[in-house]
Structure formats: C-alpha cells, structure tokens
Structure 1
C-alpha cells in the first residue's frame, strides 16, 4: 500500500490528467415528429428533463421565421446579411394562422428523403398536404430537401432540412446549458432514432446535430432506449445460474410511425478485476418491426378529411361553388383544421364525442361540426388492422409467439386511443401482459440519457450491456474479373454494440481496386460507401521483393463490422500478408546487442524454464586474451555469434493496406459547404442576440420615459432644480416620446441609437436625482464623520502624551544610570583591598559560585532600562495619525466652506461618498494603532505564562540540590506558582464555570466610540488580561491532564 503522502500525490496527478471535456454534462435527445424532449445528466443533476423557456417538459418540433415588415407593415424588408426573427415551439406554431408559409414543423420524415416520381413520393406528398403554404422541394444535386422563405431575398440560398433541424437542436442545447448553470457546456449527446432509419436518414440526422454544435456519442433505437429505462431499476434472472431470461416487446406508437422491438432481459455473471466476478444486466434487441405511416398524424389526417367533406356540404359552400382544392391548398385554413383534428382525437380518447367550432373559416362563413367516437373508429377501421403487423414481424423474425412474451411495454401517445388498446388485448389474449410501467412520453429520452452517461467517462452508472440490431441486411459489391459480385455480410438481426461480430473478408485482388458497401432497403440495394485501396499494389510487390513471397501465397483481407455509432457497415482495417520461410538478416536492437555482450542472449533465449526442466550447458568458445570473453559453462557470458543457427520456420509477414472511404447514395455536402452552413447559422445566432439586446434597450428606454414623465409630479425635485433645468428635461422627453411613436424610425434604430437616447435623458435627470439624494443623506453622514474626526483627535492627543512621557522616562533613566555607574566605581575601588578570610567557613557550592559570578559580572556592566509591560506609542505612530488627521481635517474645512456657498439646485462639492471614504481612512489609522497595543499586550501575557511554566519545571528539577539552595528554589517556585494561579491556574470546577461564563458572555471586545471617547490604556489592558486568563485556563487544564497521564 502506498504511503499517504505518495497516495495523495498520485491522486493529484490523476486529477490533473483528467481532460476538461470529461467533466462536461451529457444530453439524451428524443427528436420526435411532433415534439422534442431532452434529458440532462450532470454531476448534481441526475436524469433531469430539460424544461423549455415556458417551463414545459417538451418542445413542439417547429421553427418559424418572422419577416421584418416595413413601417406601413405592407411589405417585407429583406437584404444581404439581414436575418428575420426566429420563433420556436409553441411560439412558432402560433404564427401558422398569420404566416403559414414561414412555419417549418414536423421535419423529421424529410431527413434523408430521396426524390421519387411525382405522385409516388408519399413522404413529400404527405408533408405538402399538411403544410400547403410551405415552399419545399427536393434537390437531388444537393442531396437534401430545401425550404424557401419570403423573409429572405430571392438570391439567398434555400435552407436545408438539416439546417432547420439544427436550429431546433440548438434551441434545446441552449435550454440545457441554462439548466446546467453558468459555465457548463453541453455538447455530448445520444440521439434516439426509429429502427427503420436508413443510412441516408442517419447521416442527415448526424449532420443536423453537427450543425447545432453537438457531438453525437451514439444513436439508440427508440425501443432499446425504452428497454434501458425499464432495466435501470430492475434486476433480471442470472442465466449463468440457470436463470430464465425475460422477453418483453416494446410497442412505440408515436405521431409519425409505429415500431415493435423485441427485447431480451437477463443477468449474467462475468469476470471482474482479479479473481472476482460480478453480475451485469444485459438488454438485447432480438428483432424489430415497423409501420412508417401508422401514427397519430395519419389519424389526424382522417379527421381533417372528414371536416373538409362536412364543410363542403354546407349550402353556402355549394352556392358559392367552392371546391375542395381551394380549402386544401389554403395554408391558414389547413393549419386550423389540423390543430382542431389533433385536439378532437385526444378528446375522443377520454370522451364519446367532441364538438369543433371554427369562426370565419372562410370570410363570413362559420363552421361547426360534431364527431363521435363511433364515427371516428369507423373511419379508422383499416388502421386498427395494421396495429398487429409490426408486432407479428418482430416475433416472426425471432421465431417467437405472443405466449413467449412476459409483457408488452406500451410507449407513445397513440397508445391511449381506445380502439388500439382493444386491438392489443385481442392480440395478446391476456390483458395483464399489456404494461404501462414506463412513462409513455419520456421513457425513450430517459433511456438515451442513461446510455449517454454510460458512454461518458464522467459518470459511473449501473452496468447494463446493451445490444441493438442492424435493422437492414448489408453487404458488398466487389469486382471479380469482368463482372461484379454481391456478397452479404450482415443480416437485419446482426448485433450492434455489445456482442457485435467483426467479419474478415478475403479477396483475390493483388492490385489496387475498389468495392462498395450497400444496405438492402426492401428489395433494392442502397449504396453506402465506396472503399478504394491506395497501396495494395506496392505492398504486394514489397512482400515479393523483400520477403520472397509467392503470388499464390499472398492474401488480401478486410475486416468489416457494424459501427457502434450508427449501426452501418464499416471497414475497420485491411492488410495483405503471406506465409514465408525466407531468412531475413536483422541487425537487432541496441538492447539485444548489450544482452548478447553480457551473456544474457535475446528475450527468446530468456524464457522461464518449465517445472523439472534443466538448463542445458551452452556452447563453449575460446577467446583471445585481448577480447572480453572467457571459456565458460552454463550461465557464463557467451557471445550470441557462437550460437547454433536455427532452422528457418514458417512465419506470417503482414503489411497494412491504406484505403479511402467515399460516401454513396445521396450527395453529401463538402467541407466547404458545411463551413458555409455553419457560418450562416452562426450569423443568424448573432442576429438573434443583437435583436434581443436591441429589444432590451428599447424596453429600458420606454420604461425610463414613463419614469421621467412621473418625475415632474414629485415636488421633492423642485427644490433641487431650476425651472430652466426642468424645462430642458421636459423638452427632451417630448422629443424622445415623439420619436418612439414613429414605428419606421424605431424599426431602423440600432441598439447604439437607443442607448444614446437613454443616455441623453439620464444626463439631465440624474444630476437632479443625485442632488436630492445628497441633500437627504448628507446630515446623517456629516454627523458620523464629525464623531470619527473627534475620536481621531482624542487618540492623537493620547499618542502625543505617551510619546512625551516615554521620552521623559528615557531621560530620567539615563541620569539614574549615570549616577549608578559612579557609585559602582567607588564600590569596586574599596573591594580591591585585601579581604579577611574566615577559615571556619564552609566551601561554597557550585550554584553559589555561579550566582556570585553572575552578580559580579552584572554589577560591573551598565544595567539596561527595564522592559515596559504595556505598549507605548512611538513618534512614528504620532506622525502617521497626525498626518492623516491633518489631511482629512483640511479637506473637510475647505469642502464645508465651499458647500455652504452653494444653493440647493447646484451640484454639491461635499459628497457623501467622499465623506464615507475619508471617515474610513480615519477609522483605518485608529485601528492600526489600537491593534499594535493589543498585539503587544497579548505577547506580554504569553511571555508571563511561559515564565511561570518554566519556574514550575525548575522547581521539580531542583530537589537534588543542597538544602540551602533548595530552600531558595522553593521560595522562588512558590512565588511563581502563586502568580500563575492568579493569572490562569484554576481548579477543574472553577475551569468549567469559567467556560460556561465565557460561552454566555463571549470574548471581551474593546468598543471605540460607544460613549464618544477612546478607551484608556487601562481598559485595553484589562480586556487583554481577561482574554488571556480565559485562554490560560484551557492551556492549564490541558497541561495538567498531560502530566497526570505521564
């Protein structure tokens, strides 16, 4: 075990080497078609839903551009580098009634969507049917779907769906950073995806996250995310101990699609550190099934069509000859119908009927209709039959049945629909298996956050080994002579993540070539990437020339796997190799040469012996005397050159193959295009910040004008201002208010302009406010200042007296010492006569001699002046306090005289802030002098206590001396003991009483200025003695206890 000091040093080193990025928070993000939810994981914030600015737990998946209108609000202002206002979530949806073409919602189905024939592209057709006013189109050359906005000039590059999604992600990111706290960055994220996402859709989503400044740690399917959330608080049977795994099916029915994910939950005992084992939980996706168009929006569309049909049957509609196209292509009407359809569907989940009312759906035409649950279920009969399809597909792929399921975990808002619940009960045949034991709205996002925390090195979470599936079969196309061959690599059920398999693929190619990876979507193969080798030809040549490999022995291999990030096939390594027995001369390393020189041989020669195996003696070689060798037996130093050559063995020579990867499928943006998009998004963000700052400045200016308007109603300001000053304020206020009422001028104004107008008003108003405030506060501040000035004068007088007394005392001591020196000289002269010796006198002991010697030497020297028991102020102290006092007093005299000459409406020269500063200066110098006195008193008291303790010890050690010196020592000891007892030595009972009294009273403080007078020297010393006595009691008790123990 490391010593504590070394362990602490090692810990400090480890902490210093932790990267800063590992301390950041992580995010789980569930980007649905209708709503976006996020969960934050941060030290101190475990798995917390990120709230929107309206404190909602989910944000509507929508972003809107609010065009900048002209002053007459009849035209839109556009220009290069000009960006409109953006709105998110419910604020964006609220604009659909006024500007439906500028609201971009429900973008998720358009990610990675490919251009299809007109009338066959159900994704684009469905989107346009729901949002007819939005200008959307697919551009295959760009490989994405783009949107145009009237808020920008025609020359502006259209906004891609990835850019719009990035705006929504960035908004969520800002909310998360606000929740995480100041200085906390949120970049790492795990995103949920449907299990049916293709390579193109995954790449599009990853690109949107990248544009938003997010680092995607991984993608997790919705079903697996729900499974992780389900498993985080549960423990499952250990299959290593003959436990039976649990099988649950997650049915996720959201706004856009329905998915079924079959999961296996089990515990497993695995090897841990050293000789220990541990039990981990495993969540494995076995198979999936889905229906891309069975979701809440599909049911809403049925209600919308019913509303349109009923609306067209009104007599007024027939009389006007209005056709369905006129309604279905009107963005404002359709936005109202879709909102009401969503509301009606949710109402019918709890009620048997709902009534919808539309005021002026068309000019002067109102519409009111009723929809019952029976009618609704009749309209959706076909959808009820489709619920079983994804479940049956998932079970069939794993060769399981409903009876094999432990439960069906329900997730998604559509689950609450009554006819769907009845259909599920009929399918499962056991209603008890339908479980609502997870949060139907938030379970997926909690699972994503849990996976993010597990992937981050900043967190230690419950160990759950998860495994997803590919979802689609994948493989490769490679050249074989004049034709191209197709080779499957992975099936739809191939694992991704824990337990994933790496495939080693051998090729016959000996020269540079390329092959393609594909993903099978339905019956068609969709290209993913092209792999091109760059050094295969050179590597094969090197094997032949350098290692003597034959062409037939050369093998080319690539290793492929399903990426743990996105589940797509990828090439992780490639190498060309051959088996050869050719002898290759090697120079060896410096270490091998040294080992040979010392007789140790190479590493291979130093392998440990097996039990019972004896070392054979090495070869012996005669060496000349000039060489550093000697004849020896086993264990002696023998040059490696004397070894018997080994027989060549077969070995494998390998050279890594370099290759490039080029994306296939939809065109991917270049690095320059990505930089352009990021730059434009950053400029949009800067525009938003500038707009917010400008709006804040406008609000502040407007609020200040109202304050100034009420300012004149306060008569307190009349006495501190002149009529001319008030007229100037009134005129500027009127001008500012008139300017603010001109919408065109305000719209063109910048933050700088608004702040300048605010500053102009403040320059006139604030001096008046300051004069009033000074007039109110000055009397009180003057009183306090004068009291402090008087106290300083009193202390300065005391310092002068002490300095004078000390000088006088020193003079008198000098005269006394001069007289003492003369007397000592006369005594020394008389002592020099022949002494009379008493023969009967006893010889003096050592102590007496030492004492005599010391006394004579002391008397022969000039005695020093006794050390003072209290601190005496010095001339330097007097200079300090008198200098500060004179400076402050002179300033106060001059400023007071100048202030008396001013009127109330003139700016004061004797400011309260300066009074406070000067008063603080006086207080500071007084505290310095008092602190010196207190410090000296504490040091003196401590010296007395140490002297008393030393006397006590000397008393104990003097017992071995003679009776005469013993008596002398005892008398001294008693004197010291008495003094100590007086100062701090008390009985235990008295000590406890003193402690209680001290706890009640607290420490003794010296109060300056309580009665307008400085404390006297006696008061200062009294306080010091009291505090010193209390401290001495504690020390005495502790010391006594220690002696008792000894």
Structure 2
C-alpha cells in the first residue's frame, strides 16, 4: 500500500503547535520584579523576589526615595543627593522635573514654564519638534534619554539591594497621560534596558495598595486625591466582590473598578515652590541685592539656590507657623535671610485654592454621585500636607470623610510592586481584579471609497470612549476595494492626531480575486487599547467569498480538515475565531451599513439556494499596515540604538569614576588616620624616630599629590600609593598591637596553665592521657619563660619574639586538651535490685519463735568493700 505523506506545511504547523505547548509548560526561572513610582521630584522603587515579601528599595544613602535629578558634567553622571548637592553650582548641567516634559512639544505651556524655572538650555528638536536640551557643543539630550538614565539608575539600585537580576517592572503614570507621554516613558524604559510589564495609573496603584490588606463587607466608593509635585488627580474607585470561575466552581475575588478620573495637570507642589522662590528673589532684590547691579532673577545659580530653599521652607511651614529662609552667598557673596510665616505662604497661593476641589467635583459629577455617597476621601502626595489645602478639602467632604490612613509617600510604589508580582506569575499574591478606564476618547477618521462622480465623504467613528476599560480590543470593518488610509485622533481638546495608518495589499488582492468574488470584500483591522493605555494596530485582513467549484482544496481547507473543522466553520473568518471578546465595529455610515447587510444576506441566500455546482468559500488575505506617528513622533529605532551605545560608554565612564572616587577617598582617609596614628604615645615606643620621620615625609608627599594630581589620576595609581603607605604603616601597627596586648595574653596563658595543673580524676582517664596533658602544660610554661626572657632583651622597636598569635596557639591547645578530659562522662552506677522476700509458711520456724524482738524494717546488710569505696567516690 502506498503511504501518503502529510503536506510539509501541516508538519510545520503541527511542530509549531507542539513547541508552543512545551514552552507554556516550562516553569519560569525565579527572578525579581520591581515597581517604580516615577515622580517629578522623587522616584521610589519597590521589589519582590523569591522568599522576600514586598519591600522598598533603599538607595546607596539608605534612603527610601531618590531625587529625580541627573547631573552630567565632563561626561560623568551624578544622581540623587550627589546631583542635588552640585545643582546649585552647576544648574546648567542639572536636569530635574523631567516628568513634566515627557511627550511634550517645545511650544507646550508646560515646556515654556520649565524654561522660566530651570536654567539649563532647552531647544526644539529639529525632527520631532519636542523639548530637548543642548548640553555642550557635542551633546544634545532628549527627555527620553535623561529619564532613561534615571530609570537605569533605579534598576541598578534594585539589583544592588536585592542581589538579583531585575526582569520586569511596573511603572506608575498619571491617568491623564496621553499616547505621546506613555510612549515616551516606554521609550525611556527601553533605553534603560528595563522590561515594562505594565504602565499603571498612579491612583489605581494607590487604590491597589489600599485594598491589599483590607476586606470589604459590601461595595464601597472611595476617592483617592493625589497632589504631587507636578499635578493633582482624583480617582473614584469602587471596591466590590465578584464571582469568577475557578475549576469546576466559582470563587469570590475582590474587584477594583475605576469609575471616574478628574485631574488638574498644572496644579502641584512645584507651583508652590516657584512662588516661594520668586517671593524670596523679590525680597533679596529689594534688600541685600539692591545695589549689586545684577538682577537676581537672571542669575541661574542664585535662582537654583532659592528654588532648593523654597522646597525646604514649604515643608517646614506645613508643620510650623513660621521659619527663616537662609542662603549663604546667594549672589556676589551677599547672604540672604528672610522670615516667612505660614500666613505669607497661604497668601501667595490663595488664588490656587479654588482649583483644589476641581478634580473631586469632576469625578462625582461623572459618576452621578454626591459627597454623601462616598465612604472616604483618601489623601495622597506631598502637596496635601499644606494646611490651607487640607482645609479646602475638609470643607468639601467633611472632616469625618477625610482619610489619611495610607502611606501617602509609598502607597503608589507598593501598589506597583504588588501588581508586578501578580503579573509575573512567579509569586502567589492575593487576587485583585482591576478595571481601569481610558480617560481620553479616541476616534477613527477615514474617507469613503472614491467614486467616479462626487467627492469622497469623511467619516468619524468613536473607537474608545473616556469610559472604555483598558485592555479593550476593537475589530474595525471597512467596506473598501482599494488601498486606503485612516487616522486615529483624540476626540476632545485640540483633537491631536495620534497616527495615520496606510493599508496596502487590498488593490492587488482585488485584481486577483475580483472575478471570483461573489460579494464585496470585507476589510477587518484589529485595534487594541492595552492595559498600559497604549494604542496599537494589530493584524489586518480582507475576506473574499470566492467560487472554488472544481478546484483542488486550498491549504486553508486542508488545515481545517486536519483540525476537524466543518464547512460552516470554513465560511467564518478565521480571524474572528482567534480573537475572543473583541468588539466588532463597522466603520461606515448608516446607509453603507444597510447596503452591507443586504449584500451579505443576498450572498448567503445565493450560497444556500444557488447552483449546486457553485462552492463558495471564504478566502482571507493578509494586508500590510504602515504606521506614521503624528504630533509627537517616538524615537526611531536607529536613534534608540545610538543612545544605547552612548549609554554603554557613559556606564563605563561611571564605573571608572566610582572606582576612582572609592580609591581616592580610601587613600585620603588613610593619610589622615596614619598622620594621627604617628602621634600615639605607644607608637613613639615601638617605632624609631627615623621610621616616624620617613612615614611623615611620605604622608606629606602623598597629601600634596592628592590635591594637585589626585583628581585626574587613575584608580590603579591611587591604589599603588595606598599600598606604599600601608607597607610603612603595617609593621609599626603590628608592634604597637603586640606591645598593648602582650600583658593580657601572658596572664591568660598563665591562668590556663594553673587551671590545667588540677589533674582530672584517675579512674576516668588513663595514665598516658594524664601524662600527655601534663607534658603539654610543662612545655607551654617552659616556652613562656624562655621567650619572655628573650623579649625582655629586645628593644621595643624590634620585631617581637613573644607574639600574641603564638601565645594564643598554646593557650588554645591547653584549653582544648583539658576540656576534652573534663568533658568525659562518668559511667552510670547500675541500680541495685531489691532483695527477694523469703517465702513464709503457716508454721513459724524455731528462729522465728525464739526471736525476742520483732521489727517491721528490714535489717541492713553491710556492702562489700569494693562497693563501699565506689559509693564514697560517687559522693565526693
């Protein structure tokens, strides 16, 4: 019999499916995941690793948060407090509050405000038209690059803290971030080689942290109000239980559902800082700086110092009624000092207070709720610490509903870390379902098929509303017969275009299958709004109903038969069978929809009742979709590659700098300690004057070299000089240690010798064991007497012959031997069995009848001599 081979394509298909199943069955390797709360002023990192619960990462300064600042000078980067400390000296090289600039064009109002506040050089990118920075003649940095440096630093902190490679991260973003801003932070993470598991809205992360350790007896509504450094956001969240399938039965899990979001992107703590900065600058201009001839507002260093002081003053006035602002050498060696009261602070921000309740009012109106319907208003962020802002919110909802029962600084980062653990599938965490929403509605704009007469019509179809749940998929249906374009644009605001998609391959498919097509083709394109809130264009196909009568089965028919599909299944678009839960949207006007419906019905009828020789099947042809990003263009692949190479170079420079700094600091510290060491009284005893003078001369030479050439010297040169000093220092230190420790060491050895002379009991040890122990003691005693005499004959500056290590060795040997003998246990003495009672008879014996004295106690019998001796020894 002839064996028919399976088609090669089916074998490949089967192998691919088998490989996919095996990959899914392979358990993942253990690794750590992190959450990053990236803010305008600070960023915080949480970590989850096997065997370690959710924890906050401590930076190199053992702090729980890190300043979101990077300073670049001479090709070397500084982060965190190091960057902050140098920022007032080099404000033009310092980049802070970059979160406000992600995905922003140069003319954007927030970018314009940034240029007024900070003294670095912002320019307009000639290609992307975004905000960028000219650092020097050779370097221009995009915002994504600078943020990427900080994210890479955050990742490095987590890996150092957790001692494990980080494989993924959840990063928090404001819910009002649009496509451009979200793609910008994703690009920044890619530059940092940080795999993003999810972009999580900040207030959703806070709500998740709120729910982690709580139970809810019934549905509850809470508003999370977050005033950070850059913006203010309020999210109305509903907590309730739902039933979800779990095997053969359902289980109850908690669901976190975001109902509405309100925001004020320009209201935040940084606005307060800037107003305090300007208040102090104006006061300085009137006072100490009046006759300097220099405008303090135009001096970048002075304004940087005032902005730093303004933030400190704001924090103090949140808890105190008054404080003093003080900056030494603010401008031209003139100091500045000013008393600022809480009343003054409240006066300069009084025009901002009416904006404070806005986000809360927005979410209540959108949800159709009243203040009485919410369970609490949870306060988050540093801005809500200002008393006047708290007072406004208290008036809005009442004191009883104002809640501060979450850690406002760390709630978001802990929620992000918890979500990262849940996504990774490597950790067992409490299941909490999240239903977050899209805040910015998006629509599809396209033109109808060109006709011979008349002008093409433009159609607008809503794709995602402001209530669309993140993770939604839409399957768009287009009635087209030639290649076409469509746009995705924002439906509100300035209606910024997001992208233009060009669909090609349709014209060629029509030319090939037009004669066989029994009905107009259907173009289906999948558009997804991911759980990160990012829009992407998926697969695009055109479906034809064609007559295959008399033709050999197509490859698709063969595949369907292989998997047991029916003819009815074959007539369904395979694309729709794959995508579960996809909402299908027809991108046509009502007239076109009606025509489409009638055509589909006619085609179906013709298939059912037509000529028996006809065989209509659905042919699916894949189309090409080319994306052209609009408004804010993401970084190109080539640009990202160049930036990553530059990052690698800077990373190497950073490692060299850290190695140099560590070596320099170690050498400098050793120079100071060695100088102090030489003035010790005991050092004058154990070191000759020539030795001390040689050491002092070498120390002075090294100290001068450090301050002249040390900053530029390589690390190995610094380490070489350190070893040279250690070579001088070591013998002197060793002799001093011997001198100081010798009396106590001798006394300890003599005590051990005296203790060992009390011989253990002979019956427990052999004579040889006792003699060996006594010999060890005698030898140690003789050695001690001999070496003491030799040591006494030596000068204190000579190398000692009676060394602490030798004394300790002999003492340890004696104590070990004596301990071994003493620890030997005595064999237990067996208990004596009670004597058997004599048998008695009915008739007493003669002895019994003649015994004049009767006693109830048994008569004592003297033990044998050996037993008596042993008994006495046991008592002793």
TM-score, length-normalised on structure 1? 0.59
Shift of 1:59: 1.2
Shift of 1:515: 2.4
* Structure 2 match to 1:371: 340
Q: How does 1:539-550 map to 2 (within 5 A)?
A: 539-544=509-514, 548-550=516-518
* Structure 1 match to 2:478: 507
Task: Decide whether aligned partners of structure 1 residues 712 and 50 sit closer, same or farther in structure 2, where only a CA change above 3 A counts.
Answer: closer
Out of 87, 104, 107, the position equivalent to 1:113 is 104
* Number of equivalences: 691
1: CA distance, partners of 2:117 / 2:393:
29
Shift of 1:581: 5.5
Tell me if structure 1 keeps the 8 A contact 2:698–2:725. Answer: no
Q: How does 1:760-799 map to 2 (within 5 A)?
A: none
Q: How does 1:283-322 map to 2 (within 5 A)?
A: 283-314=256-287, 318=290, 320=291
Tell me if structure 2 keeps the 8 A contact 1:520–1:526. Answer: no
1: CA distance, partners of 2:558 / 2:65:
67
3-state SS in 2 of match to 1:261: strand
2: CA distance, partners of 1:719 / 1:233:
66
Tell me if structure 2 keeps the 8 A contact 1:222–1:444. Answer: yes
* Structure 1 match to 2:113: 126
2: CA distance, partners of 1:732 / 1:203:
61
* Structure 2 match to 1:38: 45
Any unmatched runs of 5+ in structure 1?
Answer: 1-12, 68-77, 238-242, 608-644, 781-902, 914-985, 990-1046
Tell me if structure 2 keeps the 8 A contact 1:729–1:764. Answer: no
* Structure 2 match to 1:264: 238
2:506 is equivalent to residue 517 of structure 1: no
Q: How does 1:641-652 map to 2 (within 5 A)?
A: 651-652=617-618
Q: How does 1:499-898 map to 2 (within 5 A)?
A: 500-520=471-491, 522-527=493-498, 529-544=499-514, 548-550=516-518, 552-565=519-532, 567-580=533-546, 582-583=548-549, 585-586=551-552, 651-702=617-668, 734=697, 737-738=700-701, 740-742=703-705, 743-758=707-722
Deviations 1:803-824 (CA, angstroms, capped at 9, x unpaired): xxxxxxxxxxxxxxxxxxxxxx
Task: Decide whether aligned partners of structure 1 residues 507 and 712 sit closer, same or farther in structure 2, where only a CA change above 3 A counts.
Answer: closer
1: CA distance, partners of 2:729 / 2:276:
62
2: CA distance, partners of 1:415 / 1:50:
25
Deviations 1:773-804 (CA, angstroms, capped at 9, x unpaired): 99999xx9xxxxxxxxxxxxxxxxxxxxxxxx
2: CA distance, partners of 1:169 / 1:771:
51
1: CA distance, partners of 2:346 / 2:799:
82
Tell me if structure 2 keeps the 8 A contact 1:38–1:445. Answer: yes
Task: Decide whether aligned partners of structure 1 residues 449 and 313 sit closer, same or farther in structure 2, where only a CA change above 3 A counts.
Answer: same
Out of 356, 359, 362, the position equivalent to 1:387 is 356
2: CA distance, partners of 1:489 / 1:266:
30
2: CA distance, partners of 1:408 / 1:718:
71
2: CA distance, partners of 1:539 / 1:134:
55
Out of 460, 463, 476, the position equivalent to 2:431 is 463
Shift of 1:32: 0.9
2:187 is equivalent to residue 207 of structure 1: yes
Q: How does 1:959-998 map to 2 (within 5 A)?
A: none
Out of 444, 447, 454, the position equivalent to 1:476 is 444
2:350 is equivalent to residue 343 of structure 1: no
2: CA distance, partners of 1:59 / 1:772:
45
Shift of 1:252: 0.9
* Structure 2 match to 1:416: 385
Out of 19, 33, 37, the position equivalent to 2:28 is 19
1: CA distance, partners of 2:558 / 2:343:
89
The CA RMSD measured in Å over matched residues stands at 4.5
Tell me if structure 2 keeps the 8 A contact 1:312–1:322. Answer: no
Shift of 1:373: 3.1
1: CA distance, partners of 2:380 / 2:480:
50
2: CA distance, partners of 1:201 / 1:295:
18
3-state SS in 1 of match to 2:481: coil
1: CA distance, partners of 2:670 / 2:284:
52
Tell me if structure 1 keeps the 8 A contact 2:33–2:49. Answer: yes
Shift of 1:432: 1.8
1: CA distance, partners of 2:401 / 2:734:
76
Tell me if structure 1 keeps the 8 A contact 2:364–2:370. Answer: yes
3-state SS in 1 of match to 2:439: coil
2: CA distance, partners of 1:16 / 1:771:
66
Tell me if structure 1 keeps the 8 A contact 2:70–2:83. Answer: yes
Shift of 1:211: 1.6
Shift of 1:580: 4.4
1: CA distance, partners of 2:277 / 2:730:
61
* Structure 1 match to 2:205: 225
* Structure 2 match to 1:452: 420
* Structure 2 match to 1:1044: none
Out of 402, 408, 413, the position equivalent to 1:440 is 408
Deviations 1:387-431 (CA, angstroms, capped at 9, x unpaired): 122222222333333233222222111222222222223322x33
2: CA distance, partners of 1:202 / 1:258:
18
In terms of mean alpha carbon deviation, does 352-361 or 334-343 score higher? 352-361
2: CA distance, partners of 1:770 / 1:377:
65
TM-score, length-normalised on structure 2? 0.70
1: CA distance, partners of 2:565 / 2:505:
34
Shift of 1:161: 2.0
3-state SS in 2 of match to 1:697: helix
3-state SS in 1 of match to 2:103: coil
Task: Decide whether aligned partners of structure 1 residues 478 and 307 sit closer, same or farther in structure 2, where only a CA change above 3 A counts.
Answer: same
* Structure 1 match to 2:153: 171
2: CA distance, partners of 1:46 / 1:360:
48
The structure with the larger Rg is: 1
Task: Decide whether aligned partners of structure 1 residues 907 and 348 sit closer, same or farther in structure 2, where only a CA change above 3 A counts.
Answer: closer
2: CA distance, partners of 1:385 / 1:749:
58
Task: Decide whether aligned partners of structure 1 residues 515 and 376 sit closer, same or farther in structure 2, where only a CA change above 3 A counts.
Answer: same
Task: Decide whether aligned partners of structure 1 residues 310 and 489 sit closer, same or farther in structure 2, where only a CA change above 3 A counts.
Answer: same
* Structure 2 match to 1:99: 90
Tell me if structure 2 keeps the 8 A contact 1:29–1:192. Answer: yes
Shift of 1:495: 2.9
2:259 is equivalent to residue 279 of structure 1: no
Q: How does 1:932-1011 map to 2 (within 5 A)?
A: none
* Structure 2 match to 1:136: 122
Shift of 1:735: 5.7
2:165 is equivalent to residue 185 of structure 1: yes
3-state SS in 2 of match to 1:685: helix
Deviations 1:350-384 (CA, angstroms, capped at 9, x unpaired): 33333334445444655443333334333322211
Shift of 1:268: 0.7
Greater RCO, CA 8 A, separation 6+:
2
* Structure 1 match to 2:580: none
Any unmatched runs of 5+ in structure 2?
Answer: 1-21, 570-610, 747-793, 806-829, 834-876
2: CA distance, partners of 1:264 / 1:680:
46
Task: Decide whether aligned partners of structure 1 residues 703 and 157 sit closer, same or farther in structure 2, where only a CA change above 3 A counts.
Answer: closer
Shift of 1:708: 7.3
Deviations 1:947-973 (CA, angstroms, capped at 9, x unpaired): xxxxxxxxxxxxxxxxxxxxxxxxxxx
Tell me if structure 1 keeps the 8 A contact 2:180–2:634. Answer: no
Deviations 1:251-299 (CA, angstroms, capped at 9, x unpaired): 11111111111222211112221x2111121112222111111111212
Tell me if structure 2 keeps the 8 A contact 1:716–1:772. Answer: yes
2: CA distance, partners of 1:377 / 1:682:
48
